[in-house]
Structure 1
Amino acid sequence: MKTLPTLKKMRGNYWQDFHQFDILAFQDDTMRENQFRARVQQDGFFALYYDDEMIGQLIITPFGDDEGHLGRVAVAPKHQGKGYGTIIVSKALEWFKKRSIRTVHLYTQHDNHIAQSLYRKFGFETTGIAWQYYVPIHHIKSREKFTCDQIKEEDIDFVGTKYPSMPTAEIRRFLRKPGQHVFTLKDKNKDIVGACRFTPSFPGCFPFEIDMVESFDDFMHGLQSYMLPQFNYIRITQTNNHELANLCERRGYRLHHKLFKMTLNIS
């Protein structure tokens, strides 16, 4: 009888196995050791082992009140095509159902047809397109029409209602994490016209929401004072804003990822 691989909770002493796997699976997006050790303290981080070899990994998190985010599903290249991706996704959906999650979303490379086929087998449907651009932050000048500030308590519910990508519960969860920020962008009338989550150590904004592309430069300029000194760029990841994607393309910003957002209702 064939031995099946085992999905285990990721542990700190798996770092070397994880790192070697990560280099093979995510060459340009590997996780630093400090990020790994912080992540293993949280729920939803798993390793797929076959005997003593790590052959897969899974990262999943709750999102908002009743939604889940399937962050990473990966199988080592030499073990792909053996059904291990199906095992990982099945376990992920079991994890979400036990927590009364009703909807799950994920992002996958737009040209990764094998992954898309796997997700569609479980009922996922494409619900959006996302772009991640490297924005060279120090070349951007303020237009002085919009103001970027850390989110105020009285604005959290409004932002959570206005932007579905940033539900209120998710904003509060994110703000409890050390070194994380949520910003709003306001016009001259103090109306909120944008919002983002910002991680300086990445550094990146995801999600990133603006109502009008002419506010982009003021938002980017406002984030500069929160940058860590070793970085001169911010990764901006946004979904379904084709006008902003066109602006980034015209300016020659480097496109790092083009992704499909896929969603599954499991209620």
Structure 2
Amino acid sequence: MALLQAEGVTVSVDNRPLLTDVCLDVDVGELVCVIGPNGAGKSTLLRALCGESAMETGRVHFKGESLASLPARKRARQLAVLPQSNPLSFAFTGLELVALSRTPHSTGTERDRIICLEAMAALDVCHLSGRLYPTLSGGEQQRLQLARVMAQIWRAEDGGDRLLLLDEPATSLDIAHQYEMMRAVRDFARSGVAVVMTVHDLAHASGYSDRILALKHGRSMAYGCPETVLTAENMQQLYGYSVTVVPHPVTGKSLVVADV
């Protein structure tokens, strides 16, 4: 049984369907990327998976149980979510911000500090530990926020099986930090975490995901390994733009190139 199972997820707002009959399953160690044009329902899906958006129909199970039925503290030890927007004006230092994630745990100040620094090292933000959050660039803030949610579920012994939901975490990052972030998230998944993340860059989805879910108009258009989802025909249908898909010259993975 997959760690996360979503079946028939349907979400509507003011009688307008945002998601219709979407299914998804993710196992421990897997990184699943969700792609699609603006307004396809990617963020709505993540909110439905974590219980933030009420479903009209469908169900979401975590380890065979309803996520909604888990006590809040236990859920916070096993599920971490990074939304697109993370407004914060309070003058926390970088380390203080990341340390907020350890509130659900009772692991002690010193152990929590070590965990926070390990998560910060994975995102190359240890040098920001003493900097005030409001003074940082958008990219620096984004990397600290990602370190925060990773630190929340950093070790399996703190809560068992773990699930990480990320909504466009590459926003505001330069190209070097985008790929550094993708490697960190993939490595985190391999450590025993199920990860679902929305992305716009198809190179990220191709190069790092185990499976890809393509959404269009709130419906699942394709779901499977990158090679079967990232085809020229699928991308034309998904985005309405002509592309060519070729093997990456180094990795051999699917590389989507716009036809100009």
Report the TM-score when normalising by structure 2: 0.27
Which is greater in Rg?
A: 1
Structure that is richer in strand per residue: 1
The answer to which structure, 1 or 2, has the higher relative contact order (CA under 8 A, 6+ apart) is 2
Report the TM-score when normalising by structure 1: 0.26
